[in-house]
Amino acid sequence: MVRRRILLLGSRGQLGHALARSLAPLGEITAPTREQCDLYDPGAVLRLLERTRPDCIVNAAAYTAVDAAEHHPALAMQLNASLPALLAEAAGRTGAWLVHYSSDYVYSGRQATPYTETDATEPLNTYGRSKLAGDQAVAGYSRHLILRTGWVFHRFGANFLRTILRRARQQTRLQVVDDQLGAPNSAEFIAAVTAHVLRDLWRDLGAPGLYHVASQGHTSWYGYACHLLTEAGRHGLALRCSADTIQPISSQVLSRLASRPAYAVLDTARLCDTFDLVMPPWQLGVSQVVQDILRLEAS
């Protein structure tokens, strides 16, 4: 396979960190830091594109502070919508592939069956609206790949898994929401899928477009936390709180600024059928990251 020039944006985030590893066999990766390129500055982004002349742009950068987006909608729109639009326009001039990551927050969560790529979008908050605007901008360019996912976790970074483990080490009881459903997705899993799909697209297998990426099965945040602490205990992680002392609560108790979809389960049939993939169960990714964290702490 021809080695391509790959520009990876957002490489310091949890997904970007995983992508730097999964994409390495596919080409020469340029992964600028925030100090090297301010993604809120269109001029800086255009200069970066001119300097690197990528064959493929992988945009893992995003404004993901869901509640803060309600106070700072312009920041969310600039990074989640304006930046993808700029990248799509630039890619259109050079013929580069553009990979973009969407969010399950583009859906209302009022559905009772897994969302397909053709289901109506109806974001409940500013973050979701900004992500949808980015999707729409990227979809206007022919050589695009939009991967829609959610509930992302990694052994590094700020995420639900690491937060629960930290609190379980400090507290004897936890309260976790039990009325929001989705599938936890390892950043390593999403990155591996990205690399697989790109290989096929570059071989003229499959087709560009929007695809859902999600592990098999679904659970609530409460069910996720229970499984996580069970696995952590099984592998010998010292905890003050166990799964049987977690209290399930309603999302209304938290009084968050931004509404969340109650049902964010994604149908992955299009992805699996097009690229001959089988999605792993969500529990597998959680267990793997627990073991990774233990190994890091022991080293």
* CATH number for the domain that contains residue 271: 3.40.50.720
The token pair at 83 is 């930046």
Q: Is residue 257 part of a domain?
A: no
Predicted pLDDT at 158: 86
Q: Which residue is listed with tokens 């990251």?
A: 289
Selecting among 127, 211, 222, 224, the annotated active-site residue is 127
The 10s digit of each residue's pLDDT in 1-57 is 567 999 999 999 999 999 999 999 999 999 999 899 999 999 999 999 999 999 999
For the cut 90, the answer to whether the pLDDT of residue 298 exceeds it is no
Percent of the chain predicted with pLDDT > 90: 89
CA distances from 244 to 172, 175, 231 (A): 11, 11, 13
Model confidence at 255, in pLDDT bands (50, 70, 90)? Answer: confident
The 10s digit of each residue's pLDDT in 170-205 is 999 999 999 999 999 999 999 999 999 999 999 999
Please compute the mean of the pLDDT values over residues 285-291 and round it to a whole number.
93
Q: Is residue 258 part of a domain?
A: no
Q: Is residue 152 part of a domain?
A: yes
Beta partners for residue 29, in sequence order: 6
For the cut 80, the answer to whether the pLDDT of residue 162 exceeds it is yes
Q: Is residue 169 part of a domain?
A: no
- CA-to-CA distance for 299 and 244, rounded, in angstroms? 30
Q: Is residue 223 part of a domain?
A: no
Q: Is residue 292 part of a domain?
A: no
Query: What residues make up the domain containing 191?
Result: 4-159+183-216+265-281
Average pLDDT, the chain: 94
Predicted pLDDT at 41: 96
pTM confidence score: 0.95
Predicted pLDDT at 238: 84
Q: Is residue 244 part of a domain?
A: no
Predicted pLDDT at 256: 86
* Structural domains in the chain (count): 1
For the cut 90, the answer to whether the pLDDT of residue 254 exceeds it is no
Please compute the mean of the pLDDT values over residues 224-241 and round it to a whole number.
91
Predicted pLDDT at 140: 92
Active site residue 127: yes
Predicted pLDDT at 1: 58
The 10s digit of each residue's pLDDT in 84-112 is 999 999 999 999 999 999 999 999 999 99
Spell out the residues 6+ positions from residue 30 whose beta carbon is closer than 8 angstroms to its own. 5, 6, 7, 8, 52, 54
Predicted pLDDT at 295: 85
- CA-to-CA distance for 97 and 56, rounded, in angstroms? 4
Beta partners for residue 266, in sequence order: 115
Predicted pLDDT at 236: 83
Q: Is residue 60 part of a domain?
A: yes
For 205: left if phi > 0, alpha if psi spans -120 to 50, otherwise beta; the answer is: beta
